[in-house]
C-alpha cells in the first residue's frame, strides 16, 4: 500500500464513510452492508472491510484515504489498514453515550500507529448533541500523552473535512499543503 495514505477511524456512525465520500476526487469505494446487529439501531448500513478514496495534494501527489470499519468485530482490518501511511483522522460521534470514552478506546487501539505518525480529531454530530467542553477532550488527550488538533466537524461538509486533513498534514510537515 502507498505511503501517502491517511486512515480514518472512530466508532460506528461517526462519519468515516461519509467523510471519505465528501473528500474523494473520484467516486469512493465502500464496503457498506446492511447492518444486522446493534448497529442497526443507529443506521441501516455499516462498513465491513474498508472505504477508499483519493485526493490531490499539492496539485501533483495523490493521497489515498482509507476508512476503517467502526465495529470492533472487524478490527483485524484496523491492523491491515494501518501499515505505513501519514497519519490518523479520528472521528468521534457526539451523540454517542460517552464520546470521551470512545476517544480513549480509539487512542489506545491505534496507539502504536499514532506514536509512529500523527493524529487529528474531528467531533461530528454536534448539531444534534451539544459539544462537551473542549477542555474535557484536551484533558483526556493529555492523559494519553497525545497531542492533536481537535475540531467540531460535519462529515458531510467539504470545508470541515479539508480543514481536518490540513491540520493533520500541518502536524506532519508545516510545508505540506493540500490544494482544495
Candidates 16-24, 83-91, 134-142, 162-170: pick the segment binding Mg ion (CB under 5 A).
Answer: 16-24
Residue range at the interface with ligand GTP (CB under 6 A); choices 11-19, 52-60, 101-109, 130-138:
11-19
Q: Least distance in Å: CB of 117 to ligand GTP?
A: 20
Distance, CA of 27 to CA of 35 (rounded, Å): 22
Q: If you write DSSP's letter for every residue of 93-139 in order, what string do you get?
A: ETTSS-HHHHHHHHHHHTHHHHHHS-EEEEEE-TTTSPPPPHHHHHH
Q: Which of Mg ion, ligand GTP, none lies near 18, with the C-beta cut-off 5 to 8 A by kind?
A: ligand GTP
Candidates 47, 125, 148, 163; binder of Mg ion (CB under 5 A) is: 47
Q: Work out what residue 94 binds among Mg ion, ligand GTP, none; the CB cut-off runs from 5 to 8 Å by kind.
A: none
171 binds ligand GTP per the rule CB under 6 A: no
**DSSP string for residues in 16-43:** HHHHHHHH-SSPPEEEEEE--STHHHH-
Residues 59-98 that bind ligand GTP (CB under 6 A): 69-70
State how far the Cα of 92 lies from the Cα of 145, in Å rounded to an integer: 18
Which residues share a beta bridge with 124? Answer: 93
H-helix or E-strand containing 164?
Answer: helix 158-172
Query: What does the binding site for ligand GTP look like in residue numbers (CB under 6 A)?
Result: 10, 12-18, 39, 43, 46-47, 69-70, 124-125, 127-128, 154-156
Query: What does the binding site for Mg ion look like in residue numbers (CB under 5 A)?
Result: 16-17, 47
Amino acid at each position: 500500500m502507498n505511503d501517502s495514505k491517511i486512515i480514518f477511524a472512530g466508532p460506528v456512525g461517526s462519519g468515516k464513510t461519509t467523510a471519505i465520500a465528501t473528500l474523494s476526487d473520484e467516486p469512493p469505494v465502500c464496503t457498506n452492508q446492511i447492518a444486522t446487529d446493534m448497529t442497526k439501531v443507529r443506521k441501516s448500513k455499516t462498513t465491513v472491510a474498508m472505504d477508499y478514496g483519493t485526493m490531490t495534494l499539492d496539485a501533483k501527489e495523490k493521497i489515498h484515504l482509507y476508512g476503517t470499519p467502526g465495529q470492533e468485530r472487524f478490527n483485524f482490518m484496523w491492523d491491515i489498514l494501518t501499515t505505513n501511511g501519514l497519519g490518523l483522522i479520528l472521528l468521534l460521534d457526539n451523540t454517542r453515550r460517552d464520546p470521551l470514552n470512545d476517544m480513549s478506546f480509539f487512542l489506545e487501539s491505534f496507539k502504536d500507529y499514532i506514536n509512529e505518525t500523527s493524529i487529528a480529531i474531528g467531533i461530528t454530530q454536534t448539531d444534534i448533541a451539544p459539544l462537551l467542553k473542549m477542555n474535557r477532550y484536551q484533558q483526556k488527550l493529555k492523559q494519553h500523552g497525545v497531542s492533536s488538533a481537535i475540531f467540531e466537524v460535519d462529515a458531510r461538509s467539504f470545508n470541515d473535512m479539508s480543514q481536518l486533513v490540513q491540520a493533520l498534514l500541518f502536524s506532519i510537515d508545516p510545508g505540506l499543503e493540500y490544494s482544495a
